[in-house]
Structure 1
């Protein structure tokens, strides 16, 4: 067995802080849309806006860190081992003795499917959430930017759709955490920073 430090303290802080903020944003988003009542509408909306600003600030800081550290390269899509990874997740994962074809290292942290998923999350879902959320927050200022003829329902619908896309991403992400062998392998790596290779 080998042990490599794969995720730095900052990466783990960013990951878990982002996860907590996103989960709370999803919860308050559902409440603001009337799915249930826990905080009450006004408090839920206030918390939703507050956590949105925290997530935006964290994201700006993370983008800066990724560019300064060079870690942005981890998200460049690749087809290297794509077929093997697809085969693993569709067929081989159900075989007792199957081995994941991708080995996580400090220099290459994400398999080809992860790179595509994380790129879509960071380059599509998050920006749509930010832009639509900021427009939603500053609805009263729309005439100042020439948007007085844009229906609020359109922006609200886009924001809600992006919120559901984020929820789907979160569900799949949590599911994929538990596809490691042994079961807690990936979760342990994101908690401790170390990847234990059992292959």
Structure 2
């Protein structure tokens, strides 16, 4: 085992800020939905709107970062060990079997993680973002109060937005659980806080030194 600098500063900032905004949006969104009362309806609406803009800005920066650094390649799924990975999480992990794949700086995600996160980025997140924007601008702020999406009933937009919220919450619950499946129950969380993780692949030593300079 060796300590490798695997998660860069922006990556950690983006991860934790996105998580905080998603949970805050869920809190205010379900209050707007009438599920409970905490901030009050008007304050919840305004807070939800502000947090939504903050998330959109963060997403824009993260897309730019992923493509300029080449980190987008991390989410390209491979299927060679997908079945073995599913078996590990459903059976092998409870029997103490070795992990079927190894994490490295170039391959931070196993096949199942890559496929899941790709689904998050291409399906769940766009569903929330698009329906949220349509919901926000369903009526323009002008004297005529003109409907700009007249062909889509507002009820359908609200339903799809709420569906996206439930999917994101389910993803978050599974994600939090999966963080406990590392070498120790807290090793994955610690790695996302410090950037360093204990890896088994000796070939990553040169990359470790290179990334320490980058830090």
Give me the TM-score of the superposition, normalised by structure 1.
0.94
Residues 44 and 183 (structure 1 numbering): CA distance in 2 closer, same or farther, change over 3 Å? same
SS in 2 for 1:84: helix
Q: Offset of 1:198 from its aligned partner? A: 6.2
Assess if the C-alpha contact under 8 Å between 1:104 and 1:195 holds in 2.
no
Residue 152 of structure 1, aligned match among 142, 151, 154: 154
RMSD: 1.5
5+ unaligned residues in a row in structure 1: which ranges? none
Q: Which has the larger radius of gyration?
A: 2
CA contact (8 A) 2:104 2:199 kept: no
Shift of residue 94, structure 1, vs aligned partner: 0.6
User: Which residue of 2 is the match for residue 91 of structure 1?
Assistant: 91
Q: Superposition pairs for residues 12-31 of structure 1, below 5 Å?
A: 12-31=12-31
Question: SS of the counterpart of 2:197?
Answer: strand
Aligned to 1:120: 119
Matched residue pairs, number? Answer: 197
Deviates more, 1:10-19 or 1:182-191: 182-191
Contact 2:4 2:198 in 1 (8 A): yes
Cα separation, partners in 2 of 1:80 and 1:188, compared to 1, 3 Å = farther
Q: Deviations 1:151-199 (Å, cap 9, x if unpaired)?
A: 1000000100001111111011001111122211211111111111369
CA distance in 2, matches of 1:144, 1:33: 22
In structure 1, what is the equivalent of residue 170 of structure 2? 168
How far apart are 1:149 and its partner, in Å? Answer: 3.5
2:181 alignment partner, SS class: coil
For 1:67-110, what per-residue CA distance to the aligned partner results, in whole angstroms no more than 9, with x for missing partners? Answer: 00000000011113212211110111111x32222221110000
With the length of structure 2 as denominator, give the TM-score of the two structures.
0.87
- What SS is found at the alignment partner of 1:139? coil
The unaligned stretches of length 5 or more in structure 2 are 202-215
